Amino acid sequence: MSKTLIAASLLSFAVAMTPACATKKYVRTEVGGVNSKVDTLSGTLEQTQGRIQQDEARIGQVDQKAEAAGKSAEAAQSTASQAQNAATAAQQAARTVDTKVDRVNADLVAGRKLVYEVTLSEDQGNFRFGKTELPDEAKARIDQVVGQLKGETGKDLYIEVEGHTDNVGGKELNYQLGMERAESVKKYLYAQHQIPLHKINVISYGEEKPVAPNNTKDGRAMNRRVVIRVLS
């Protein structure tokens, strides 16, 4: 009986201990799995933090480049403004010189006598709207002027060429257009007839001195003209 009782007791103890051992093993397994997951999450977190730091570094570089680009743009704008100011100053200086030259020429012309005057205008088949090329009709009339000059030998002759336009377009454009027309006459006198350049003065009045109303087609055609004056 005692052996049987001891055996039964041991069996009961073994049965009682088996769930406890199984529970501890399960806990160790679960804890190990959790630790593994924690380690994995820690590694992922470190990688994420590393990528964030890299992104922040890249963002910093982009910000630096953007700032540098902004400074370059500001410098370019400043340079452009300085160039524009210089161009404006040069234009004003050129106009001042032109004004002084005009005054000198006016003084020279003031004491001279008008020999004759020729007008080249569009209504007479010459300069076309917006054009500066010297038409054949205008060349023929200039040739007549030069032919008359040959009969004035022995005189100190001086030629003044005025460029005029209608009022279509801006004043600056018309001033330049009138000057180019007058210059085309000057070039023809020099190239075709060898008139010394210092004997020819050109001036543009643009739209300032109309000879007819600009509210009609015929009037505008008359205003688009070049006047050639021969002075002695």
Backbone φ and ψ of 205, nearest 5°: -105, -5
- The pLDDT, as a whole number, for residue 104 is 47
Same domain assignment for residues 220 and 121:
yes
Residue 115 tokens read as 């020999």
Residue-wise DSSP of 122-174: GGGT-SPTT--S--HHHHHHHHHHHHHHGGGTTS--EEEEEEE--SSS-HHHH
Which among 217, 227, 209, 224 has a CA at the least distance from the CA of 125?
224
Q: What are the pLDDT digits (tens) for 15-57?
A: 455 554 556 566 567 656 656 765 676 677 677 777 777 777 7
Specify whether 92 is located in the same domain as 145: no
Q: How many CA atoms lie within 13 A of 153 on its CB side?
A: 3
**What is the reported pLDDT for 122?**
72
Q: Give pLDDT < 50 ranges for the chain.
A: 10-11, 15, 20, 104, 107-108
Do 57 and 96 fall within a single domain? yes
Sheet of 114-121: strand order equals: 114-121, 225-231, 158-164, 200-206
Do residues 98 and 123 both lie within one domain?
Answer: no
What is the span of the domain harbouring residue 184?
112-231
Whole-angstrom distance, CA of residue 230 vs CA of residue 232: 7
119 and 94 in a single domain? The answer is no
Q: Which two tokens stand for residue 186?
A: 């000057």
Which of 46, 79, 104 is the last residue in one of the domains?
104
Q: Is residue 101 a contact partner of residue 203, using CB atoms and an 8 Å limit?
A: no
**Count of structural domains, the chain:** 2
**Cα separation, 121 vs 35, whole angstroms:** 103
